[in-house]
Structure 1
Amino acid sequence: MTAEHYLGLTGARTMPTTALQLTQRAINDLVELQAMGVVYGPAGSGKTFAWQTAVDTVDVPVCAVQFPSRPSMLRVAQVLLGRLSGRIPKGSRFALSDELLDLLSERPRLVVVDEAQWLNRDCIEYVRHLHDDPATKFALLLVGGNGCWEVLEREAMLRSRLFRRVAFAPMSADAVLRVIPNYHQLYTGVDPELLLLIDDVFAHGYFREWATFTHTAQHVCEDRDTPLDEAITRAVFALHDGGADAGR
């Protein structure tokens, strides 16, 4: 699985932030011990890119799934079995569960459940049951956005089994000044005050918003044949209707 920058942004570098490094360590530990963990934080803070980057280095098969909001246990079984087996599953939840247990017992692997905050209590317990079965051999990573930890921490049986927990948050102003000049060549030599203006008006510390700004700014700079400056920056703001807060 190859991680891609948001919008397929070209020229962006993978930044070794603390959260990315913690995610890498957490996933390595989960795979080694076939344990459970969670990566969570607000949308756009870099979670997906981090875990997709991290799983590239593991030496077991990776099964990544995402369920619709508030799925049934049957739907969870169908999606997971379909992804593992490559076929359309048919049968009752109990029959599918038996097949899942057999597949998950065959060899070590990593199962990633994205948007885990969409799971209800029954589905969380169902996934935990699959992992806790003595015969299964998989590490389980739950990844979620806004509200994920609040959902998971209510389930004591699950929470007590979480071996690794990584929380993502927007970058602080100091982090922006450390990270963004190396994130993309567009920002090489750019005045720190301009970077802070972009972050204050548009990006708010979120990698996704920085990728969005960078994608548009590249094209504006190319059209005007000039490096990034305040005029370009304000043109990008205008193209995005005043920045990420517009319309909120």
Structure 2
Amino acid sequence: MIDLDLEYGRLPAEDTDHFHRLDAHLVATEPLMTTLDNVEATIEAKAMMCAFGPAGCGKTMSVNSALRKLAPEHTYRLELRSGPTPRDIRHGLFHALGLPGEPPTRPIEFDTLLKETLAQTFRVLVCDEAQWMGRSSFEYWRHLWDDRKTDIAVIFAGGDNCYKVLKREPMLASRMFIWQKFQRMPEDEVVANVPASTRCGRAPTRRGSATSTALRRTATSATGPP
């Protein structure tokens, strides 16, 4: 399932990044800057990226922050819930892209519409909470990206299950240009960064601030199917 509202598909406002809505701002930590570099490389290559790790480690926040700087007008987000199917992804993309009229009822017509739309101009598609997806849903994203006419980069952000599902399937894993693993920030780094993050002198208690390790694919290019 996919939650839909009038703001669906857009990058959220920066002041919503922190789930506690604290009066704090982002600090340019090494993990945050690594995400910026990785997202930029993924966009330039028109490739696919997977940001994964435990809940609360800053995956969504880091990806959103990078995209606000790099491609705010070209980013379209899907936030998934409870075992989404390819049908859910089709409908989510239909609404995120702001397509007019009613969604097609037949999958082949729906896919044709989405591919034609995604071929018109470059877009960055972000699939948040990707840990809810199974093999068939990831395959659907690959189907869209593999099409020679679509002009897209795809970024998955999700829990460890996202990584496990992708790595089990060589056809899916081979499409990933960058794997970025998020981990909890050590306590000493949290303490060191608190003064720079708070505006009012009260320490934010962000659960699991992000640290990350980027694992780049050995291939030098991932702009299309091999």
Name the TM-score, length of structure 1 as normaliser: 0.72
Is 1:76 the counterpart of 2:89 in the alignment?
yes
Amino acid at match of 2:109: A
> Structure 1 or 2: larger helix share?
1
Distance 2:200 2:69 in 1: 29
The more displaced of 130-139 and 148-157 is 148-157
Deviation at 1:55, TM superposition (A): 0.5
Counterpart residue identity of residue 74, structure 1: R
RMSD: 2.2
Larger Rg: 1
1:149 aligns with 2:151: no
Is 1:96 the counterpart of 2:113 in the alignment? no
Q: Which residue of 2 aligns with 1:51?
A: 63
Q: 2:133·2:162 contact (CA, 8 Å) conserved in 1?
A: no
- Structure 2: gaps of 5 or more residues: 1-10, 211-226
Q: Distance in 1 between matches of 2:187 and 2:92?
A: 41
Q: Which has the higher contact order (CA 8 A, sep 6+)?
A: 2
For residues 27 and 171 of structure 1, what CA distance do their matches in structure 2 show?
21
The answer to whether 1:85 aligns with 2:98 is yes
The corresponding residue for 1:166 is 180
AA partner of residue 18 (structure 1) = E
Name the residue aligned to 1:16.
28
Q: Does 1:64 align with 2:77?
A: yes
The Cα of 1:132 is off from its aligned counterpart by 0.8
Answer yes or no: is the 8 Å Cα contact 1:19–1:167 preserved in 2.
no
Structure 1: stretches of 5+ with no match in the other structure: 189-194, 209-248
Q: How does 1:196-235 map to 2 (within 5 A)?
A: 206-207=208-209
User: What is the percentage of aligned positions where both structures have the same residue?
Assistant: 30
SS at match of 1:151: helix
- 1:60-103: per-residue Cα shift (whole Å, max 9, x none)? 51110023322222221121122113444131111110101101
Indicate the residue corresponding to 1:35 in structure 2: 47
Equivalent in the alignment of 1:175: 189
Q: 2:199 and 2:143 mapped to 1: Cα distance?
A: 48
| One-letter amino acid matched to 2:135 | R
Could you tell me the TM-score, scaled by structure 2's length?
0.78
How far is 1:130 from its partner? 0.3
- Structure-1 separation of matches of 2:88 and 2:61: 26
Pick the structure with more strand per residue.
Answer: 2
Task: State the aligned residue count.
Answer: 195
